[in-house]
Structure 1
Amino acid sequence: MRGRYNCVKDFKEGIETIRYQLPQPKTCHFCNARLFHRETSSMCCKDGKISFPNIPICPEFMELICEQTPRGRHFRQYIRFYNNMFAFTSMGVHVDESVASNSRGIYTFRAQGAIYHRIGSLLPHTPLSVRHLQLYIYDTDLEIQRRMSQSVEAHEDIVRLIQRILDMHNPFVEKFRQLSRSPNLHQCKLLIKEQPLNQPQYCLPNASQVAAIIVGGEEAGHLSGREILVQTFGGNLINVQDTAGFYDPLQYPILFPFGTYGWDINTRDANRNKVSCRDYYAYIFQIRDDALSMIWLGGRLSQQYVVDNYVKIETHKLRWFEHNQDSIRADLYQGLQDAFNEGESDTVSIFISAPTFSSYI
């Protein structure tokens, strides 16, 4: 058995120790991001080439999350639960509970494998299976009771406050409430739209832009690969594409109470240049002294959001490699050319993979 050695038993106070202190953070003179030791402005805004407006914050949520009261501490501890209670989509992820539930040390959100956002039908199969989007539409008179029944930890005053804030500000909620009042609800479908191409990034979406109600046999028209047509009834969940701008606000209503769009495949900066997924989140994840952000005040929910979008960034990198094998001459990397040169004719025996650059980690 390996023995244990106490490395500090011979420590003497008289021994001189060397103290290291990192330099004070600097401020990017392009976007005002706080830059720590050895960070440069190319990381936050690509030396001023990228610029986005600050994500608007809700004063009511800001006050609640900053409260130094039992209610505020409870909300911060269970913020992921409250967000999930009001989320329009469900999140498929394998969370490493050995880290997340560890009572020692700080809370850590660690996911294993892929992350999926899924959306269900407008109406449930049974009254007892109402969840997520359906809570905004089906039997709204009992909405509070149904949300409270999800956990004994829920505080009714907090649930009512979140409901009131989202009813007041969120365009998705406005459209879903409108649908719930439709006399032909059982004949309706809901089209969740992409962000308009000509809309500036700083413009908040309104209810007519985020979704449309389709009644009866009315045609939805041509749908892009990222728009979603939610059926009235249906057993299958629909995957929300991570290239759609509504991917973030549908899953994180507490972080984006105004329905602010996240990154999508057509996101452009102030100069109308396309911005990659990595560059977009590298910009909005920065700490700026002149701008408050719910992303950095959300605690455990912010950890989930950062991990979720880091997985999105890595997925886009791998997707690029998958679809650009000809550009990187992948046949030379995986030995396919060598197999043909050696006269290998059995294509089944040739293993074909999708290699990446050696610099990809």
Structure 2
Amino acid sequence: MANLMPMETSSAPVAFEVVGLVVGDIGSSNVGRDIIIQDHSSQLQRISEKHPKFMSMQYPLLFPYGEDGYHDELMYRQRSSTSANQHQKVTMLHYYTYRLHDRPNDFNTPLRCKRLTQAYFVDGYCCVETFRIGFYRKPSFQSKYRSSSFSSLANSVSRGIASGSSVG
């Protein structure tokens, strides 16, 4: 009878359980999505959507080697045949667009996992849209535009002010 015990290696990580915790529900907060892990010292650590390992921790079957995903410091590769790029840093949208396409001589694991691939790209889309909305919520963006509450706009219209630029 063959020995069915797995071979042990000294560097292999060992975990006896994996737990996921969902806090809140959709729409209950504006903080985005994140992963909370417990490190070796039993401290909880938050991994945000902008962390390079976020997607590899979210989808360990797609990224078994813990490959880095999108992060703010990801740069375009410069080619000698083209002139300098307009943009030096890769946007999140361009990163996920790049991941979406298959290339010869490049085994793209996330494209070969059927439903898990769909979940990965939906998560990628949600990350892109979250950061787009976050851009519009920044005080620096908000301060560029004049705004007024609906009740003050309704009061202005009732007073006969028809030009929106004079109201706010």
TM interval, short-chain normalised: 0.5 to 0.7
Q: Is the 8 A contact 2:37 2:47 kept in 1?
A: no
User: Residue 335 in 1 paired to residue 142 in 2?
Assistant: no
1:325 maps to: 142
Distance 1:308 1:89 in 2: 20
What's the CA shift string for 1:83-113, capped at 9, x where partnerless? xx9997847499xxxxxxxxxxxxxxxxx65
Ranked by relative contact order (alpha carbons within 8 Å, sequence separation 6 or more), the top structure is 1
User: Residue 259 in 1 paired to residue 66 in 2?
Assistant: yes
Distance 1:241 1:315 in 2: 12
User: Per the alignment, in what secondary structure is the counterpart of residue 120 of structure 1?
Assistant: strand
Distance 2:77 2:96 in 1: 16
Distance 1:117 1:90 in 2: 11
What is the count of residue pairs matched by the alignment?
127
Give the 3 Å change call, closer, same or farther, for CA 317–121 of structure 1 in structure 2: same
User: Residue 294 in 1 paired to residue 109 in 2?
Assistant: yes
* Aligned match for 1:239, one of 38, 43, 46: 46
Give the 3 Å change call, closer, same or farther, for CA 312–290 of structure 1 in structure 2: same
1:283 maps to: 98
Distance 1:282 1:91 in 2: 30
Moved over 3 A (4+): 85-94, 112-115
TM-score by length of 1: 0.30
1:300, distance to aligned residue in structure 2 (A):
1.7
Q: Is the 8 A contact 2:47 2:54 kept in 1?
A: yes
TM-score by length of 2: 0.60
Give the 3 Å change call, closer, same or farther, for CA 291–266 of structure 1 in structure 2: same
Amino acid at match of 1:239: R
Distance 1:304 1:274 in 2: 26
Amino acid at match of 1:310: Y
* Aligned match for 1:309, one of 124, 140, 144: 124
Q: Which runs of no fewer than 5 residues in structure 1 stay unpaired?
A: 1-84, 95-111, 123-187, 190-231, 344-361
The CA RMSD over aligned residues, in Å, is 3.7
How many percent of aligned residue pairs carry the same amino acid? 23
User: Per the alignment, in what secondary structure is the counterpart of residue 38 of structure 2?
Assistant: coil
1:162 maps to: none
Structure 1, 284-293 or 310-319: larger mean CA deviation: 284-293
Distance 1:93 1:299 in 2: 28
- Kindly name which structure, 1 or 2, has the bigger radius of gyration based on alpha carbons: 1
Q: Is the 8 A contact 1:89 1:251 kept in 2?
A: no
Give the 3 Å change call, closer, same or farther, for CA 292–241 of structure 1 in structure 2: same
